[in-house]
Every structure is written in structure tokens, then in C-alpha cells.
Amino acid sequence: MVTETFSGPASYTTHGDIYNSTILKNIERAAVIQGWAHLKAEVVTGSISGNAFKMRIYTGGVTAQPAAATDLSATAFTVLLEGL
């Protein structure tokens, strides 16, 4: 298991964005373990393929809503990765 930090996208869509690990070549499991400020994130179920996965970002609060901001490049999310 390793952790890797990913910057948020410069052009976010509510369906999520694809991220590629620079550490692992074959991800078996991934989970976001640290969000950024008021934002939360999750790895989309079934989105892992090779060294890539899709992450969806939400605003915090009682009910999570897809992030409305389109430029999230100043944010960072730490993901726990398992694989080879």
C-alpha cells in the first residue's frame, strides 16, 4: 500500500475525472483518505483500470453535492492505493 497526492483538475466535471498513479502500474484498490478544505472526494466504484481511476469531488455539509467549481487545480487529495 502507498499513498499518493493528486491535484484537483483545472476543468472539473460532476461525473468525475480520471487520475493516473505515477507509483503503481496496476491498482487493485483505491480510497481517498484526505480531502481539501470543504471538499470531499471518492473513488468511483468500478472505475479502476491499470494505473488509472476516476475520482468524484463533492462540497461538504450535511448532504454532499457535486462540486460546483470548475477550476479545482489549487486543491489536493491524498489517495491510499493498493496494487503492483
Residue by residue, pLDDT tens for the chain (84 residues) are 999 999 988 887 778 899 999 999 999 999 999 888 778 889 999 999 999 999 988 876 556 677 766 788 888 999 999 999
- The cell for 18 is 480520471
State the CB neighbour count (10 A cutoff) for residue 45. 7
Q: Which three cell numbers stand for residue 52?
A: 488509472
Q: Cell 448532504 sits at which residue?
A: 63
d(C-alpha 35, C-alpha 28), whole Å: 21
Tell me the pTM.
0.85
- Confirm if 55 and 29 have CB atoms less than 8 A apart: no
